Amino acid sequence: MELIGEYKLIRPLARGGMADLYLAEKQGPGEFVKTVVIKRVTKALLNDDEVGAMFLDEARVHGQLHHPHIVQLFDLKEDKNAYYMVLEYVPGWDLHQLITGMKPLEQSVRAGLALPIICNVLDALHFAHHLAVIHRDISPGNILISTTGAAKLCDFGVAKSDLQQTFTKTGFTKGKFRYMAPEQLEGGLIDPRADLFSIGVCLYETITGKKLFGQAKDEDVIQAIRSGRYPIVLSLPGNLHSPIKTLLQRALMSSPKDRFQSARDFGLQCAEVLATLHSIEKPLFWGDYFGDEAVDHSPSKGQSKKLGRFRRLIGNLSKLSQG
Ligand SMILES: Nc1ncnc2c1ncn2[C@@H]1O[C@H](COP(=O)(O)OP(=O)(O)O)[C@@H](O)[C@H]1O
Ligand SMILES: [Mg+2]
C-alpha cells in the first residue's frame, strides 16, 4: 500500500481536475489510528507551476477557516515533490450522491432533509464571508453530509480571498457554471451574493430532485443564465410548499440586489420555512435514520458497504415518508 509522508493510503475517494483524494490513515502508539483524507496534486500536473500555486492558495485560504460546518484542514505537506493536504475525514456522502439517493422520497421529506443541510452551509458561508472569503464553487459535490447529519463545506480550490496569491486567467471555467450566478458567469466582480445564488441552485436540486436546467446543452444553459431566464422563476412544481417557492424564487433572482443579501438572512429564512414545514409534518432528524448504522464508520470496509448502508437509509426514509 502506497505511503504519502506518514500516511498509508487506504483507497481512492475521488479524482478531480487538479487533485486526487484518498482515504488514508496514520498509526500512533498503542492501537492509535487516525483516519484522514489526503488531497494531493495530480501526478500529471506536478510540474505545472500555476497548479502548484493554486493548490498553495487553496491551502492558505482553507487553513484559516475553523468552523464546525467547514471540513477542517489539518496540514499542508510535501512528499516526493507533490504538495498534499491532510483533511478531516467526513464519513458519509456528498450532496450530489444524496440527491440521487433521495429521489424516491416525497418532496416534503426531501425538503425537511435539505433545509437543515443548507442552513449548515449558510452558517459556514456567513463565517467565511466575514473573513472576506468567497467560495465561488458552491455545488453539491463540495457539500459533504456526515452520517451524523451535519453538513460540511469543502473544496476551497477557487475561493477568493486576500490571502490568494495567484489570479485565475480563465475566469468562469474554474467553477461549475450550472451553479453560477449570472455576474460570476460573466467573469465580472462578484461578492458573497454569488455564493448565495449557488446555494439556491443546490437547494432547488435537493428539494425537487431535478437539475435546474435539466438536460439542456451547455451553450443553452449559458445563454439562459446570461439573460436571467431561470426555469425556476418561470414555473415551479405546482405541489411545492409555497414558503419554499418563495425562498427559492428569492435565492435565484438574477440580480444580486433582489436576492438574500447575506448568508445570515438566507439562513434565518430557511429556518423559518423549516419551522412551517414541521408544523405540517412530523419533524425529521437525520439521527433517526441511522440508528446503530451510524456507529460503524469503519472506512476500510470500503465503498460497497457504504453504499449498502445508504440504500438502507433511503429504504428507511421511504418507509417514514409513507407512514
Ligand atoms: N474530507 C472529506 N471526507 C470525505 N470525502 C471527501 C472529503 N473531501 C472530499 N471528499 C470527496 O471527494 C470529492 C472531491 O473533493 P474536492 O475537495 O471537492 O476535490 P476537487 O477539487 O477535485 O473537486 C468530494 O466531492 C467528496 O465526494
Ligand atoms: Mg470539488
The pLDDT tens digits for 59-115 are 999 999 999 999 999 999 999 999 999 999 999 889 998 898 888 777 877 888 899
Distance CA 2, CA 112 (A): 42
Q: Which helix (H) or strand (E) holds 78?
A: strand 73-79
Ligand 1 centroid, distance to 76 Cα (angstroms)? 16
Ligand 2 centroid, distance to 321 Cα (angstroms)? 31
For residue 42, give the ligand nearest its CA.
1
Ranges under pLDDT 50 in the chain: 169-173, 283, 290-301, 303, 321, 323
Q: How far is CA 135 from the centre of its chain?
A: 11
Distance CA 44, CA 121 (A): 33
Could you give the 3-state DSSP secondary structure of residue 33? strand
Among 105, 160, 129, 138, which Cα is nearest to 289's? 105
Exposure string for 286-317, b = 16+ CB within 10 A, e = fewer: beebbeeebeeeebeeeeeebeebbeebbeeb
Pocket of ligand 1 (CB under 6 A): 13-14, 16, 19, 21, 37, 39, 71, 87-90, 94, 141-142, 144, 154-155, 157
Q: How many CB atoms sit inside 10 A of residue 32's CB?
A: 8
How crowded is the C-beta side of 288, counted as CA atoms within 13 Å?
Answer: 13
Has 296 been annotated as catalytic?
A: no
The two beta strands, 33-41 and 143-146, are: unpaired
How buried is 108 (Cβ within 10 angstroms: 0-12 exposed, 13-18 middle, 19+ buried)?
Answer: middle
Q: Quick one: DSSP state of residue 5? A: T
Domains, the chain? 3-88 (3.30.200.20), 92-279 (1.10.510.10)
Among 107, 82, 54, which Cα is nearest to 245's? 107
Contact 82/99 with Cβ under 8 angstroms? no
What pLDDT is recorded for position 57?
Answer: 94
What pLDDT is recorded for position 270?
Answer: 96
Ligand 2 centroid, distance to 176 Cα (angstroms)? 9
The two beta strands, 143-146 and 73-79, are: unpaired
Distance CA 312, CA 316 (A): 6
Contact 196/125 with Cβ under 8 angstroms? yes
